[in-house]
C-alpha cells in the first residue's frame, strides 16, 4: 500500500507522485485532500488529490517542495512507499448548478484546480481557465487543462509565456470584454485569491476559494486549521477547504500562515541543503 508507481518533475520544485491507495482512489471526490507522511517520523502534510485512477487503484498528488516535509516527499522514488496516506478528507467541491465557470489558478494552485476543471468538464459545464505563474518554466498541466476548457489564458510575471501580468489582469479583461460566468473558482496564494474576490465582489459573481491553513489531524479536533468566514470560526479540514471568497477573512489567514515561519526556517537550515533550495 502507498507504493509510488510514478514520479514526474513538472516544473522546478514541482513534483507529481502517483501512489497506490485503492480505497482513497475509489471514494475521493474533487476538492478533497489527503494527509501524507513520507517517513514514519515525518510530519503530516495535507495535499489535494489532483487525480485518481480507480482501475489502477492510484492517487496523484502534485506539490511544491517548499520545506522539509515536502522535500522528504519529493526525494522518494518510484517503487518506494509513503509511510501513510489518510483520506479522502474535506468536503467535496460544490458548483451550485453553474452554467459557465471561470477557474483562476496561481502557481501550485493550478494543480489544486485541476480536479475541479475535470469534474466540470465531465458534467458538461463550459469552463475557461486563467493560469498564472512566475515564468514559462512554472506553467503546469497546460495540455491537460487545454483539453478540458474553452479558453486557456496563460499569464506570466515576466512575460516569458502567454501574456505578461497577473491573473487578475486577465480576469479584468475577460469581464470588460463582456464574458459572462455564474461561478468563479480561484485557487492560489491567499493574496491572489483575495485580489480575485475583490474584483468579483462588486459584480456579484459567486467566487469559491480553496484555503490552505496549517493542518494537523485533518478531522476537526485540533483546531489548528481554523479560519474566519462570514464572521464565524470554521475548520478548513471539515468545513472546507472550499469557502465563499467574499466571506473569507484573508488577513487572519495570512497572519496564521506566518505563525511558524521561524521554526520552519530553522528546520530548513538544518536540512542537508542548508536551506539553499528552500522554496525553489
Residue ranges in contact with ligand FES by CB under 6 A: 215-218, 220-225, 235, 237
CA distance from start to end of the chain: 30
Question: Which of the choices ligand FAD, ligand FES, none does residue 67 contact, using the CB cut-off of 5 to 8 A by kind?
Answer: ligand FAD
State which residue, 87 or 162, has the beta carbon closest to ligand FAD: 87
Residues 130-149, one symbol each (x = binds ligand FAD by CB under 6 A, - = not), give --------------------
- HEC letters along 196-253: HHHHHCCCCCCEEEECCCCCCCCCCCCCCCEEEECCEEEEHHHHCCEEECCCECHHHH
Residue 44 DSSP one-character state: P
The stretch among 16-24, 45-53, 137-145, 176-184 that binds ligand FAD (CB under 6 A) is 45-53
- Asked if 108 interacts with ligand FAD (CB under 6 A), we say yes
The DSSP symbol for 276 reads: T
Which of 64, 93, 118, 131: binder of ligand FAD (CB under 6 A)?
64
Question: Nine-digit cell at 39?
Answer: 517517513
Applying CB under 6 A, the site for ligand FAD has a residue count of 26
Q: Which of 220, 195, 191 is nearest to 207 (CA)?
A: 195
Alpha-carbon distance of 63 to 266, in angstroms, equals 21
CA–CA distance, 174 with 179 (Å, rounded to integer): 6
Nearer to ligand FAD (CB atom), residue 28 or residue 205: 28
Q: Which is nearer to ligand FES, 4 or 89 (CB)?
A: 89
For the bound state, the minimum distance from the C-beta of residue 216 to ligand FAD, rounded and expressed in Å, comes to 6
Query: Which of ligand FAD, ligand FES, none does residue 200 bind (CB under 5 to 8 Å by kind)?
Result: none
Nearer to ligand FES, 45 or 98 (CB): 45
Cβ atoms 129, 146 nearer than 8 A: no
Q: Note whether 214 binds ligand FAD by CB under 6 A.
A: yes
Decide if residue 48 touches ligand FAD (CB under 6 A). Answer: yes
Q: State the SS3 of 66-105.
A: CCHHHHHHHCCCCCCECCEEEEEECCCCCCCCCCCEEEEE
State the DSSP H helix or E strand holding residue 171, giving kind and residue range, or none if neither.
Answer: helix 167-176
The answer to whether residue 264 forms part of the interface with ligand FAD (CB under 6 A) is: yes
What is the binding site for ligand FAD (CB under 6 A)?
33, 43, 45-48, 62-64, 66-70, 108, 111-112, 212-215, 241, 257, 261, 264, 268
Amino acid at each position: 500500500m502507498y507504493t509510488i508507481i510514478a514520479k514526474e518533475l513538472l516544473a522546478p520544485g514541482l513534483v507529481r507522485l502517483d501512489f497506490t491507495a485503492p480505497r482513497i482512489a475509489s471514494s475521493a471526490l474533487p476538492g478533497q485532500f489527503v494527509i501524507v507522511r513520507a517517513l514514519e517520523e515525518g510530519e503530516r502534510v495535507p495535499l489535494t488529490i489532483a487525480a485518481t485512477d480507480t482501475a489502477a487503484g492510484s492517487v496523484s498528488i502534485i506539490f511544491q517542495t517548499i520545506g522539509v516535509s515536502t522535500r522528504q516527499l519529493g526525494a522518494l522514488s518510484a517503487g518506494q512507499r509513503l509511510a501513510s496516506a489518510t483520506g479522502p478528507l474535506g468536503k467535496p467541491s460544490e458548483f451550485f448548478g453553474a452554467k459557465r465557470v471561470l477557474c483562476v489558478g496561481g502557481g501550485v494552485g493550478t494543480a489544486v484546480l485541476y480536479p475541479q476543471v475535470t469534474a466540470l468538464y465531465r458534467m458538461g459545464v463550459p469552463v475557461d481557465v486563467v493560469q498564472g505563474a512566475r515564468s514559462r518554466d512554472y506553467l503546469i498541466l497546460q495540455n491537460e487543462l487545454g483539453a478540458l476548457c474553452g479558453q486557456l489564458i496563460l499569464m506570466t510575471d515576466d512575460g516569458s509565456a502567454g501574456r505578461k501580468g497577473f491573473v487578475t489582469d486577465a480576469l479584468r479583461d475577460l469581464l470588460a470584454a463582456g464574458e459572462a460566468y455564474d461561478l468563479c473558482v480561484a485557487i492560489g496564494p491567499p493574496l491572489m485569491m483575495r485580489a480575485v474576490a475583490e474584483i468579483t465582489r462588486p459584480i456579484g459573481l459567486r467566487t469559491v476559494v480553496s484555503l490552505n491553513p496549517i493542518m494537523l489531524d485533518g478531522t476537526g479536533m485540533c483546531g489548528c486549521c481554523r479560519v474566519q468566514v462570514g464572521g464565524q470560526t470554521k475548520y478548513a479540514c471539515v468545513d472546507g477547504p472550499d469557502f465563499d471568497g467574499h466571506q473569507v477573512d484573508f488577513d487572519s489567514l495570512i497572519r496564521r500562515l506566518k505563525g511558524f515561519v521561524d521554526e520552519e526556517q530553522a528546520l530548513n537550515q538544518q536540512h542537508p541543503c542548508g536551506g539553499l533550495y528552500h522554496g525553489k
